[in-house]
Structures are given as C-alpha cells and as structure tokens.
Structure 1
Amino acid sequence: MKIIDTPEQNHLKIAMAQIAPVWLNKSATVDRIKEYIIKAAKDNCELVVFGEALLPGYPFWVSMTNGAQFDSKVQKEIHAHYVKNSVQIEAGELDDICALAKQHKIAIYLGLMERAKNRGGHSIYCSLAYIDNQGKIKSVHRKLQPTYEERLTWAPGDGNGLQVH
C-alpha cells in the first residue's frame, strides 16, 4: 500500500491499496479489504482507493480458457461461481466496509463486481463504489464499456453513477 501525504492545507492523505483479491472468494476478499482500510486509518489517511475488479477478482479465465465457447459446461460453472461471488449492494454486502469507514472516518473507493438487484440480479457490472467517511455509499459507477473479453462477463453500464466527490 502506498501512502501519499502532502503537508499543505486542503489536501487529502490517501492510500492506494494495490492488493490482490482472494480470487473469486468474496468473503475472504472483504476481510483483506477491511485489513487494508484499518492499515490506512492507522496511517491517518482520509481516503483509501482500491483497484478495478478487486472484489472478487478480474475474470482472467475468459481469455485463457476459450471463454466464448458456446454452451460450454466449464464456462457456465465458472461464470456461475463468479456471479455467486459478486456483490449485491442492496443486500448489505458492503455493510462491514461501510461501518469501518464510519468508525475510522475514512472515505473509500472500491472496485467491485456488482450484481445489481434493481437490474434483475442477473448481469454483472464492473463498478466503482464510493463510500464517504460517514460510512454512506454515495455513488456506484458502472463501467460504461467493458473491453475485449470483459464483455463476456460484464454488462455495459450507464452514466447514472458518474459523480464528482
């Protein structure tokens, strides 16, 4: 984790947590994320940023296993596991992370695979959630256009989550 600290007024002390997920294991990855939030808070950071697709991991198998093969049992099983380990925000699956944000008064940007219940719960979006330092999810931005093989697992987003914080 890299800490950026500037002594000037009106600047944020941020942590960039470039960590690996516990691949396709939502609960273990959430535990790792919480560990790094606590580390950033101990360093008096005001914002911690986690990368794209951290929770529960990037779908790299698609380009390595003939992911576009029609009616493949293996692809269906892997994708079903990916869907199962994606996050349903409406179901409270980020509540522990929000509670840590509030407890430590730290804001969080978190890259996650979102299975949006309000969109039927069947599509996966590569999303970026912003949680403020009061533990409130202020926005969820869905990647507008997945690229290359990502299109086999991720649905395209829209502009609703594009906000300035």
Structure 2
Amino acid sequence: MSRIRVAAVQAEPRWLNLSAGVEQTIGYIEQAADDGAGLVAFPETFLPGFPWWMWLNSVDWGGEFLARYRANALTADGPELRAIAYAARRKGIHVSVGFAERAGDEIFMSQALIDTNGTITVVRKAEPTGLERTVFNTSDGGLLVRDTELGRIGVLGGTDHLRADLRARMHEQREQIHIAAWPGFTVYYGEDKEWGGDLDTAASVRYAMDGSTHVIAPVAVVPVAGWEVVDARMPDRRLLRGGGGVSRVFGPGGLELAAPLAEGQEGLLFADLEVGRALRTIGERAPRVTSGRVVRREPVRAGIVESA
C-alpha cells in the first residue's frame, strides 16, 4: 500500500479572464507540488469560471456574457492547456482541471487529466443539465479513467454524479482515486436552491462508499462580488446571493480524511491517501483501460495568449 498526498483546490476563479485564470491555475499547481502533493484537483469549469449568469436568462445582456465566455474558453490543443501541462510535467504532479472547451462554434463542459509526463486526456460532459445547455453543447460522452503511477484515477464533473447509469459505468472501472469536480454554488433570488452545497457533499460521500474509492471533491468559491448583478428595474436589488461550497476529501468508507477549509476561504485542502485499500476491498485487479481522448503528449513550454 502506498501513501499519496493529494490537494483539492478551493478558490474563486478569475471570471471571464482566461490568461489570469491560467496563471492562477499554474500557481496552485506549483504550490501543491511544493507542499508534497502528487495530485491536485480543480473544480468544474474552473477556467474561465462557471457561467452563473444562466440564472438570469430574462436579462437582456445575457448575450454579451455568452460572447465573452466563448472568447475566454480553452481549446483542447491550445497554448493555455499546454502551459498547464508543462507546469504539471515541470513540477512532477498530476493535475485534474475542469474547463470550458471551445471547438468551433460549440462549447463543452470538459475535464482534463494531466500526468507527470504532460500527457493530456480530455473528456466532455455528455448531458449538461437543462440550464447548462443554454451555454454548453451535449456530446457523445465517454469516461475519463486512467492508470497512473499514483493508481487508477477517474474524473466526473458536477451533476454527472447524480446519474445512476454513469456512476455504475465508472464503478466498473475500479477507480482507486476519484475526482468529483463541483462548480460551487450561488442562488438566484426567489429560487430554492439552498441544498446545493449539501447535495455535492452527499453525492461525493455516496460515490466513495458505492465505489470503494477515495474521493477528492474540489469546489469553487463563488462570492456575490464575483457575479454581482443588479436588477435594472430596481437598482438597489441584487439578483444573485452568495454561495460557494467547501472542498472535501473522503476515504472509501465515506469518512472525511482532512478537516475542510472554512467556506469562502481560498486555498488548498491536503489529505494523505492510502492507495490500495480500494482494490483490496473490491478483491480483484483493475483492468488497464484508458478512457477519454488523448490530445497531446510531451508538451513544450508555451506562452499564454491574451484573451478578450
């Protein structure tokens, strides 16, 4: 059994600013590696942030946000993701990062898993929620599960953890470490969505127990200041209220392995995993299957492109 240190990011994204977001991401990669982590996991669509304006679909200027969001989305083979992969290789750390992927005129909710050689594997979320589909496209799906030097790692984003069929397919892959990437939460006034943070915790715990796997659950910080929107009819009334969530790390039995950071606090949550317990619990050796599409191997150092 090997002991592995992992880190879950709990931070506010650099909203709609891709170059600043990549710089922030690389900073957390370097910090996690310097503190001994072999794996660091970021929230869903951390780059360039989850599009919370979706809650405001009646507001006239939603189209402006969408244009800016597209301009600050990543391409799977672009210089921004290559720069992140270069940082992973240079620091000798595995990285899981959620990002908005631009492919032609389409945008997908994507996850990338990068190993210490800088190899990038990407998968797109097959079925975004109804609200998410106002921004993101559906895809053919696929699983992101890889054999790595740390063990067998799998990744899912957000509400995919509520799909019983997808959970079952992932459990069949015999993960040792699962990354449950959540976007954080904010609330539109008048909507009863206060269960958001509790939902991601419950889903992460259930996943750990059902899959007999460690679960790293990074969550974004979402202060109102990040998406402060004022009702044009009532300028003193905000349309969004604060949210966020708390990053956590769970063992195969569903118990927390580290005391979480305070809600709203930015930083890294570290935990030490005893990898090997999951496979012994299952009682058989995992098949060596790599899912997802490999988009690049052995990346070169790349500069960051200025984004709108």
TM-score category of the 2 structures, normalised to the smaller one:
0.7 to 0.9
Q: What is the match of residue 153 of structure 1? A: 135
Q: What is the match of residue 71 of structure 2? A: 84
Deviation at 1:93, TM superposition (A): 2.1
**1:4-153 correspondence runs (5 A):** 9-66=1-58, 74-116=61-103, 121-137=104-120, 139-153=121-135
Q: What is the match of residue 181 of structure 2? A: none
- Separation in 2, partners of 1:131, 1:90: 13
Is the CA contact (8 Å cut-off) linking 2:126 and 2:142 kept in structure 1?
no
Q: Once the two structures are aligned, what percentage of the paired residues are identical?
A: 37
The amino acid that maps onto 2:7 is: A
Moved more, 141-150 or 54-63: 141-150
The amino acid that maps onto 1:66 is: S
Provide TM-score, normalisation by structure 1.
Answer: 0.83
Is the CA contact (8 Å cut-off) linking 2:75 and 2:101 kept in structure 1?
yes
Q: What is the match of residue 159 of structure 2? A: none
SS of equivalent residue, structure 1 residue 34: helix
Deviation at 1:147, TM superposition (A): 0.8
Query: What is the CA deviation profile of residues 78-107 of structure 1, one whole-angstrom value per residue up to 9, with x for unaligned ones?
Result: 111100000012222212111111111100
Structure with greater helix share of residues: 1
Deviation at 1:53, TM superposition (A): 1.0
Moved more, 154-163 or 49-58: 154-163
Deviation at 1:45, TM superposition (A): 0.6
Is the CA contact (8 Å cut-off) linking 2:76 and 2:101 kept in structure 1?
yes
Query: What is the CA deviation profile of residues 95-145 of structure 1, one whole-angstrom value per residue up to 9, with x for unaligned ones?
Result: 2111111111100000000012xxxx11111111011011110x2111121
SS of equivalent residue, structure 1 residue 24: coil
- Separation in 2, partners of 1:143, 1:90: 18
Deviation at 1:161, TM superposition (A): 4.8
The amino acid that maps onto 1:135 is: G
- Separation in 2, partners of 1:42, 1:164: 24
4+ residue runs over 4 A deviation: none
Q: What is the match of residue 247 of structure 2? A: none
SS of equivalent residue, structure 1 residue 156: coil
Structure with greater strand share of residues: 2
- Separation in 2, partners of 1:57, 1:14: 22
- Separation in 1, partners of 2:10, 2:100: 17
- Separation in 2, partners of 1:162, 1:37: 20
Q: Note the aligned Cα RMSD (angstroms).
A: 1.5
- Separation in 1, partners of 2:112, 2:140: 14
Larger radius of gyration: 2
The amino acid that maps onto 2:86 is: A
